[in-house]
Amino acid sequence: MVGYILRRILASIPLLIGISIVSFIIIQLPPGDFATTYEMQLVNQASMSPADAKVAADRYRAQYGLDKPLWEQYLIWMKGILTEGKFGYSFAYKKDVGELIAERLPRTLFLALSAHFISTFFGLLIGIYSATHKYSLGDNLATILAFIGTAIPRFFLALVLMYLMVIEWNYPYIGRYTSPQYAFAPMSWDKFTDILKYVWPVIIIAGLGGVARNMRVMRGNLLDTLNAQYVTTARSKGLRESTTIYKHAVPNALHPIIMYQGTVLPYMLQGELEAAIVLNMPTLAPMFYSSLAIQDIYVSGGFLMIYAVLLVIGNLIADVVLALVDPRIRLS
């Protein structure tokens, strides 16, 4: 098992390097840089002449290395990550990117993991029910809702929910992660319940599509498994239907679900990103969005690297769990 895990970790290193290169190129594609934004601010807000603003912007580029070739900027960025654990300097926030990520990453992971667990739990339950009650009213209704949940964009759901909370329900807990009195307080039950008052819309929006996807995958897998010969044999031996389903069919139908979980966490992060931007939640998502708008490249690159690492970790965990469930995987 240790050798299998080491092989998977080593195989992920070239993937992370490739993702870092592609990510750095993508965030550099828009014309200009943060110094261009800085130059426009000097002209529009500080009433500086265009010539003086350009000189100041060029000085800014030289100070932070934005005038260097793209490949040299990338090597400096990667050297900081690998040798010092620093993701660069945020021009907008005037802080190290690692500090910004460390402040907001726990909130982001809490929302994404909560949505992940909820979507997995309810998705599996509904999928099992649909497969064991094929073509019933409940199965047809669940299938329709699954297609709707998969098709509706999450940012649209966030807009609808925000309209309902603000206009129709006059809901006061929006736009924050917790109340001001709990902002710096240690975690307690009161603080946890206060957090839930603010974050439940994001969790629901991020997890709704996951429920639909897990339900469809589980339903299809279990229907195939229920037609397998060993299930027919178990039934012919007189085993109760519940024993046949939950002891023999469901565990084998879970294999593709476990493999699928490797991509679920990034999917939940994407859902959290869309919902948090619309609902103005102080997580990584709004910071990433604003960094793209003003070309704060190291914030954007740091977010994409964290996203890639979580994707690799999710796939690694899925591979390990699948190897524990099915020992044949270790030999492949």
Residue 111 identity: L
Tell me, what's the pLDDT at 125? 92
pTM: 0.81
Helix axes 97-132, 189-226, angle to 10 degrees: 40
Tell me, what's the pLDDT at 329? 61
Tell me, what's the pLDDT at 27? 81
CA-closest candidate to residue 298, choices 45, 41, 16, 77: 77
Domains in the chain: boundaries: 101-293
Tell me, what's the pLDDT at 327? 65
CA distance 143 to 157: 19
Q: What is the DSSP letter of 186?
A: P
Tell me, what's the pLDDT at 126? 92
Which residues is 90 bridged to in the sheet?
A: 95
CATH number assigned to the domain with residue range 101-293, chosen from the 4 options 3.90.1150.200, 2.40.50.140, 1.10.3720.10, 3.90.110.10 = 1.10.3720.10
CA distance 310 to 109: 10
Tell me, what's the pLDDT at 129? 92
Tell me, what's the pLDDT at 1? 65
**Quick count: other Cβ atoms within 10 Å of Cβ 128?**
19
CA distance 232 to 226: 8
Q: What is the DSSP letter of 327?
A: G
- Report the b/e string of 40-65 with b at 16+ CB within 10 A: eebeeeeebeeeebbebbeebbeebe
> DSSP E strands: which ranges in the chain?
89-90, 95-96
Return the structure tokens found at 170: 């006059």
* Average pLDDT along the chain, 332 residues, taken 10 residues at a time: 75 85 83 81 81 85 84 87 84 86 88 87 91 89 85 86 87 84 86 90 85 87 88 86 86 79 72 83 85 85 84 79 68 54
CA-closest candidate to residue 179, choices 190, 170, 169, 168: 190
